């Protein structure tokens, strides 16, 4: 890995020399990285009768620009920090070289305002991924910094998964004041110790959605992405039965969503195949009932009046081609127990912070309320949870002793869901972010095949900041 990277930079150097010597400027720029610039901007998040909202967006956009590449292709991005505080780019779900992972203090120094950092990696897996900051991520996420990263299948999907078109829905939520300003403080003790910063305004691709225009008979691939800090989404498609064809970017054997309802934790992605089987002119609701007492209509599925695209129903979608993930060997896998503790109504009597054992009250005074295996991460720290042998299989048994669900994310790898509360999960679904439900146990397994220091944390940034993060060293 190191060898090929240094060879690449030698080649890059040579290309630079020849470009300067011989090529016209247009050609010299051909190999230049795509610049991504997080910066303050304004966005019309709520209706035109409200003022615009001051946000932070990649290239000033909410959501950030969609980055698209083909599986196996290389992505070159230069981060130019236009924010008033340090930032990084993290490529969520990508199994990339550790140095490109964008974790300040672990894989790189945070990029200061006005500074830049070059990211370059090849995308090993096709699927739906995203990018976001890993610096001060509670605030930077809540102000809007997120964008989709789509890796297209190396082989055209025709013949494997035929759809008429595809769409990406980046779901986000915002906590706004009545004047449509982003409400402060960014991370209150209430948010840190409860369910995180849940907003009061939900947007789809940066606007409050009204209708999803569709044509009868068409088959659409919907790439859903939850970029909210803390909100879970559970979308119920009235009178429709979406197929789930990929979870967190990784293809699965297609299955029908139960009751037409799909659950999306913070950072989660789902690729759906939706057959638009309604009649021309019909309207149906998509309802989000993740919090049943606060269920609301996200949008209407709005059928055009035109004649159906096809006369008869399509057969079940075929599976997308699998990505090259190593299958964990459960027989020889080493088990690592992970206990989640803390938070309001939690059962954490005391825990260790910086090697010092403290009671809950002393921890709370330091803004720390969550622990992984009795260890509370200090500011900017990710305590070592274990050293893993390269190529070896591991089983994480994650026990949630808190009163809140936690979307637990592992960097640089995907893990396979193998059991919940002791009962085997037979679908064999890969996740990079798996929900640990309160008072429950979730088991995942993976091969530690990517060398480096990889974070394992709750993806609710308020929980991560307040202690719920750690790191595995693979080597
Ligand atoms: Cu989506 Cu540690 O990140
Ligand atoms: Cu959490």
132 CB less than 6 Å from ligand 1?
yes
For tokens 């913070």, what's the residue? 266
Integer Cα distance of 32 and 224 in angstroms: 30
Q: So what's the ipTM on this one?
A: 0.99
Indicate the SS3 state at residue 323: coil
Q: Which ligand neighbours the alpha carbon of 228 most closely?
A: 1
Q: What per-residue confidence (pLDDT) applies to 264?
A: 98
What pLDDT does 311 receive? 87
Ligand 1 atom closest to the CA of 411, numbered from 1: 2
Tell me which ligand sits closest to the C-alpha of residue 411: 1
**284 and 396 in one domain?**
no
The alpha carbon of 229 and the centre of ligand 2 are apart by a number of angstroms equal to: 10
* Residue 455, ligand 1, Cβ within 6 A: yes
CATH classification of the domain holding 402: 2.60.40.420
Residues 206 and 288 in one domain: yes
Residue 69's closest CA among 142, 146, 150, 11? 150
CA distance 407 to 429: 15
Say if residue 338 is in the same domain as residue 464: yes
Which atom of ligand 1 is closest in space to residue 455's alpha carbon? 2
Q: Is residue 417 part of a domain?
A: yes
Q: Indicate whether residue 409 lines ligand 1 (CB < 6 A).
A: yes
49 Cα to the center of ligand 1, angstroms: 35
Beta carbons of 125 and 250 less than 8 angstroms apart: yes
Domain check: are 259 and 178 in the same one?
yes
Q: Rounded to the nearest whole angstrom, what is the distance from the C-alpha of residue 372 to the centroid of ligand 2? A: 11
User: Does 134 contact ligand 1 (Cβ within 6 A)?
Assistant: yes
**How far away, in angstroms, is 134 Cα from ligand 1 center?**
7
Please give the model's pTM, rounded to 2 decimal places. 0.92
In this structure, the answer to whether residues 273 and 338 fall within a common structural domain is no
How far, in Å, from the CA of 29 to the mean position of ligand 1?
Answer: 31
In a domain, 205, yes or no: yes
Residue 192 lies in a domain: yes
- Kindly list the averaged pLDDT for each block of 10 residues, start to end, along the chain of length 475: 34 35 41 93 92 97 97 97 98 98 98 98 97 97 98 73 93 96 93 95 96 97 98 97 97 94 98 97 98 97 96 91 96 98 83 91 92 95 97 98 97 98 96 97 98 98 97 97
Protein residue with least CA distance to atom 1, ligand 1: 92
From ligand 2's centre to the CA of 460, what distance in Å?
A: 5
376 with 252, same domain: the answer is no
Residues 426 and 387 in one domain: yes
Domain count, the chain: 3
| Same structural domain, 344 and 270 | no
pLDDT of amino acid 19 = 33
User: Is the CB of 269 inside a 6 Å radius of any atom of ligand 1?
Assistant: no
Phi then psi for residue 339, to 5 deg, are: -115, 125
What is the four-CA torsion angle of 383, 389, 391, 392, rounded to 10 degrees? -90
Ligand 1, atom 3: nearest CA belongs to which residue?
A: 92
- Identify the nearest ligand to the CA of 227 by its number: 1
3 lies in some domain: yes
Q: Is 416 in the pocket of ligand 1 (CB under 6 A)?
A: no
**How far is ligand 1, taken at its centre, from the CA of residue 409, in Å?**
7
Q: Which ligand 1 atom lies nearest to the CA of residue 130?
A: 1
Ligand 1 site, residue 382, Cβ cutoff 6 A: no
Is 421 inside any structural domain? yes
Alpha carbon distances (Å) from 304 to 162, 217, 238, 260, 308: 22, 11, 17, 22, 9
Q: Residue 406 CA: which ligand is closest?
A: 2
255 and 175 within one domain:
yes
85 domain residue, yes or no? no
Domain range enclosing 12:
1-29
d(CA 223, CA 419): 26
Q: Tell whether 299 and 342 lie within a shared domain.
A: no
**Residues around the ion ligand 2 (C-beta < 5 A):** 406, 458, 460, 463
Q: Is residue 50 part of a domain?
A: no
Does residue 223 sit in the same domain as residue 353?
no
Task: Please work out whether the CB of residue 90 comes within 6 Å of at least one atom of ligand 1.
Answer: yes
- Ligand 1: nearest atom to the Cα of 92: 1
Q: Are residues 286 and 239 in the same domain?
A: yes
Residue 281 lies in a domain: yes
C-alpha–C-alpha distance, residues 92 and 131, integer Å: 6
């Amino acid at each position: 890995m190191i060898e090929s990277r240094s060879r690449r930079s030698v080649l890059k150097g040579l290309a630079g020399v020849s470009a300067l010597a011989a090529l016209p400027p247009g050609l010299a720029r051909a190999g230049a990285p795509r610049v991504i610039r997080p910066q303050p901007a304004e966005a019309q998040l709520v209706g035109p009768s409200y003022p615009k909202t001051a946000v932070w967006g990649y290239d000033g956009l909410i959501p950030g620009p969609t980055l698209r590449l083909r599986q196996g292709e290389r992505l070159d991005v230069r981060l130019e920090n236009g924010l008033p505080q340090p930032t990084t780019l993290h490529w969520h779900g990508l199994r990339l070289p550790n140095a490109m992972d964008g974790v300040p203090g672990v894989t790189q120094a945070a990029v200061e305002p006005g500074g830049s950092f070059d990211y370059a990696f090849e995308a090993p897996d096709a699927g739906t991924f995203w990018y976001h900051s890993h610096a001060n991520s509670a605030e930077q996420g809540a102000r809007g910094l997120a964008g989709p990263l789509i890796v297209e299948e190396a082989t055209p999907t025709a013949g494997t998964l035929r759809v008429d078109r595809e769409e990406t829905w980046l779901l986000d939520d915002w906590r706004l004041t009545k004047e449509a300003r982003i409400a402060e403080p960014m991370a209150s003790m209430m948010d840190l110790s409860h369910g995180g910063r849940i907003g009061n305004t939900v947007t789809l691709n940066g606007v409050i959605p009204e209708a999803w225009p569709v044509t009868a008979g068409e088959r659409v691939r919907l790439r859903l992405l939850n970029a909210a800090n803390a909100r879970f989404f559970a979308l119920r498609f009235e009178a429709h039965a979406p197929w789930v064809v990929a979870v967190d970017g990784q293809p699965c054997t297609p299955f029908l969503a139960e009751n037409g309802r799909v659950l999306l934790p913070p950072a989660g992605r789902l690729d759906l195949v939706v057959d638009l089987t309604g009649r021309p002119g019909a309207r149906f609701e998509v309802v989000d009932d993740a919090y049943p007492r606060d269920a609301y209509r996200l949008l209407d599925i709005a059928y055009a009046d035109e004649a159906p695209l096809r006369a008869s129903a399509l057969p079940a979608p075929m599976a997308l081609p699998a990505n090259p993930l190593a299958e964990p060997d459960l027989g020889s896998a080493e088990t690592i127990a992970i206990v989640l503790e803390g938070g309001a109504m939690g059962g954490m009597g005391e825990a260790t912070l910086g090697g010092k054992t403290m009671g809950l009250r002393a921890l709370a005074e330091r803004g720390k309320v969550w622990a992984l295996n009795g260890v509370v991460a200090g500011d900017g720290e990710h305590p070592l949870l274990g050293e893993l042998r390269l190529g070896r299989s591991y089983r994480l048994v994650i026990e949630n002793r808190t009163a809140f669900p936690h979307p637990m994310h592992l960097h640089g790898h995907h893990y396979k869901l193998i059991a919940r509360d002791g009962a085997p999960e037979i679908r064999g679904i890969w996740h990079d972010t798996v929900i640990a439900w309160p008072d429950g146990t979730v088991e995942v397994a993976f091969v530690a095949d990517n060398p480096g220091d990889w974070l394992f944390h709750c993806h609710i940034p308020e929980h991560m900041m307040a202690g719920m993060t750690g790191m595995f060293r693979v080597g």
